[in-house]
Amino acid sequence: MSAAPTPEAHVELADVCLDFGGRSVLRGTSCRFPRGAISVILGGSGAGKTTILRLIGGLVRPRSGRILVGDVDLCRLREHQLYEIRDKLGMMFQGGALLDSLTVFDNLAFPLREHTDMPDREIAAEVERQLGSVGLADAGGLLPAQLSGGMVKRAALARALVLKPEILLCDEPFSGLDPISVKKIEALLCRINEDLGVTMLVSSHHVRSTLRMADQIVLLVDGAAVTGSPQGLTSSDDPWIREFLDDGPRDARIRESGVDADPERRPIL
Amino acid sequence: MTGLIRQLGAWSVGFVEELGRITAFAALILRAVVTPPPRIRPFLAELYNLGVLSLVIICVCGTAVGMVLALQGYNTLVRFGAEESLGAVLGLSLVRELGPVLTALLTTGRAGSATAAEIGAMVRTEQLDGLRMMSIDPVHLVVTPKALAMIAVMPLLSALFIVSGLFGGYAVGVGLKGVDAGSYWTSLESNVTFADDILGSFLKAGVFGVLVGLVSTYRGYTCAPTAVGVSTATTSTVVVSSVAVLIADYFITALWGS
């Protein structure tokens, strides 16, 4: 009986070491993120979850190791060359990182105005479509400061998607949200992954959401990465890993659970 | 003793390293200036923020300084029977020194600190990283328009400060102390020369604009992403810019005069 073929890695970290202020955060960390899959990076506070996303975005440089996006090693690129790679990436920041002087509409329109030749009418239509898809159809005229936490996350998600990236990096998309909002964001991410085939890397310490939505979990333990499927890791022989993941319910994944993925059908968060 | 020398060495190395980083940052701004597309709209917005919104403080302070100078100048000149030279005294003091220097210090306090705080807040809320992830260079979009606007507004604000000061001095000297109006303007016109004084004044203001623009944007751009980091960047912008302006003033005066 032959082994199942290893899925193609869209993003890969190889022997990555990184220090912050004399503290070693990543110590020879290696992990692969399959194309088209949802990979969730789990770990305790300060384990390096966000750092891995920032490394992949080229916002932080490692001390050593390789970071491959496709077959390009980001560590060999200069800053202006990184901008070409970032065209393939979208990033949803933990705090949204929306430009606070612009309305939500303009935040989404901004990258389109910068990087495309689309006329204003088409840009407006695309922005409205994206806002509608995340349930913010009526929020285009608001400033980021006027949004709730859940709305900020969804606006940030819409902006990250507006240039149709191949890879979506989501930094703590569930932090600070109530359980219903968490499920809505989960459902949105799963729907985007299924509809667009986007490779998703999600950093989180929300174990229940992770077990519901992840195709692959990367668990950061003492600067090293343990990779596996949700089922595989929850039945791991390692007691620390089992304890870490014990918080999650053994319910079905969200894709099969029938959670409402259409935010238009319910009131905005 | 060796500890003191070691500390002095470390401080010197740190100072040179910081100078190197600021120079590299200036090179990034220069490259952004010649990189398309030109950021006209952000530049105009910054001209408004840094220039137009500074008009009132510059006019008020310029007038007040001119009035005080006239009062002090008159009281001294009148002892020698030279009160008719009040215009020349005010003109030379304001055009050569007080105009550009005080304008730079006032602009640092009002606009330089605001620039550092605004960029620092964008660092803290990851807005600059957000731009990078959208393949937009934050130096090109955010930093360069602010730095260029600072360079552009400084000579204009300095000129306005000087004019306000001259009118303030006129109000006190002519209106209050009874100096002849014709003598005031004649002595001013005959003693202030375009090549030596006006051009030198504009040169100073331009250099001060470069210094304040560079320091304020650099401090904001490199600040720690914390509330304390933003606060420190704002404070150090005012301190470093002010000291740099005063030191640069000495060297420009020495070189231009010679």
Residue to substitute from B25, B35, B133, B221, interface A, most A β-carbons within 10 A: B133
Predicted local confidence at residue A261, as pLDDT: 46
Q: Do A59 and B132 touch (CB under 8 A)?
A: yes
Is position B214 within any domain? yes
Mind telling me how many Å the CA of B186 is from chain A's nearest CA? 51
Select the residue of A80, A89, A95 nearest B125 (Cβ to Cβ): A95
Query: What is the C-alpha radius of gyration for chain B, rounded to an integer number of angstroms?
Result: 21
Nearest Cα neighbor of A253 from A214, A202, A216, A196 is A214
pLDDT for A161: 92
Say if B32 falls within a structural domain: no
Check CB contact of B136 with chain A, cutoff 8 Å. Answer: yes
Cβ count within 10 A of residue B41: 9
**Count of domains forming chain B:** 1
Secondary structure of residue B117 in the 3-state scheme: helix
Query: Which residue blocks in A36-103 are alpha helix, DSSP H?
Result: 49-56, 79-86
Whether residue A91 and residue B130 make contact (CB cut-off 8 A), yes or no, is yes
pLDDT at A206: 87
B40 touches chain A (CB under 8 A): no
Instruction: Work out the minimum CA distance from B108 to partner chain A, whole angstroms.
Output: 23
Nearby residues of A193 by Cβ (< 8 Å), 6 or more positions away: A36, A37, A38, A200
Q: Residue B55 belongs to what H/E stretch?
A: helix B55-77
CB pair distance less than 8 Å for A59 and B135: no
Q: How large is the average pLDDT for residues B45-70?
A: 96
Token digits of residue B89: 């005294």
Tell me the C-alpha distance between B205 and B209, whole Å: 6
Kindly state the percentage of chain B with pLDDT values over 90.
Answer: 95
The predicted pLDDT at position A263 comes to 45
C-alpha distances out from residue B215 to A210, B112, B211, Å: 45, 8, 6
Is residue B205 in a domain?
A: yes
The answer to whether A226 and A233 are in contact (CB under 8 A) is yes
Residue B116 in this model has a pLDDT that exceeds 90: yes
Burial of B1 (0-12, 13-18, 19+ CB in 10 A): exposed
Burial of A17-56, coded b for 16+ CB within 10 Å and e otherwise, reads: ebeeeeeebbeebebbbbebbbbbbbbeeebbbbbbbbbb
Q: What confidence score (pLDDT) does residue A258 get? A: 47
Per-residue model confidence (pLDDT) at position A265: 41
Confidence of residue B64 (pLDDT cuts 50, 70, 90): very high
Residue among B125, B127, B132 minimizing CB distance to A86: B132
Candidates B32, B11, B12; CA nearest to B214 is B32
Closest CA to B60 of B108, B26, B103, B121: B103
Write down the pLDDT at residue A224. 85
- What angle (nearest 5°) sits at the alpha carbon of residue A71, between those of residues A65 and A73? 35
- CA separation for the pair A110, B164 (Å, rounded): 42
Distances (CA, A) of A65 to A18, A59, A82, A140: 9, 15, 17, 42
Condensed to tens digits (0 to 9), the pLDDT of residues B204-215 reads 999 999 999 999
The amino acid present at A207, given as its one-letter code, is: V
Domain extents in chain A: 9-88+165-259
B20-52 tens-digit pLDDT: 999 999 999 999 999 999 999 999 999 999 999
Give tens-digit pLDDT for A39-55: 999 988 888 999 999 99
The torsion angle over the Cα atoms of residues B13, B19, B21 and B25, rounded to 10 degrees, is: 180
d(CA A44, CA A115): 37
Cβ–Cβ pairs < 8 A, chains A and B: 53
Is the CB of B130 less than 8 angstroms away from the CB of A93? yes
Average pLDDT, stretch B70-80? Answer: 94
How near does any CA of chain B get to the CA of A202, in Å? 16
- In this predicted structure, what is the pLDDT of residue A47? 87
Q: Is the dihedral of CA A22, A23, A27, A29 positive or negative?
A: negative
Lowest pLDDT segment from A182-186, B10-14, B98-102, B214-218 = A182-186
- Which residue in the set A114, A159, A160 is minimally distant from B136, CB to CB? A114
| Residues on chain A bordering chain B, Cβ-to-Cβ distance under 8 angstroms | 54, 57-59, 80, 82-84, 86-87, 89-91, 93-95, 97-100, 110-111, 114-115, 159-160, 163, 169
- Across residues B144-165, what is the average pLDDT? 97
Does the pLDDT value for residue B223 go beyond 70?
yes
User: pLDDT over 70 for what percent of chain B?
Assistant: 99
CB A90 within 8 A of CB A165: yes
- Which position has the token pair 């940030």? A156
B5 touches chain A (CB under 8 A): no
pLDDT tens by residue, B161-171: 999 999 999 99
Asked if B34 is an interface residue toward chain A (Cβ–Cβ < 8 A), one would say no
**B156 pLDDT tier (thresholds 50, 70, 90):** very high
pLDDT tens-digit map of A77-131: 998 899 889 999 999 999 999 999 999 999 999 999 999 999 999 999 999 999 9
With contact defined as beta carbons under 8 Å apart, do B99 and B161 qualify?
yes
pLDDT tens, residue by residue, A184-238: 889 989 999 999 999 999 999 888 888 889 999 999 988 889 999 999 998 888 8
Q: Which of chain B's residues have a Cβ under 8 Å away from the Cβ of A82?
A: 132
Which value does ipTM take for this structure?
A: 0.86
Average pLDDT of the residues in B147-169: 97
Residue A249 has pLDDT above 80, yes or no: no
Over residues A137-195, the pLDDT tens digits come to: 999 999 999 999 889 999 999 999 999 999 999 999 998 888 888 888 899 899 999 99
Domain holding B119, by residue range, is 37-257
Question: Taking the domain A9-88+165-259, which CATH number applies?
Answer: 3.40.50.300
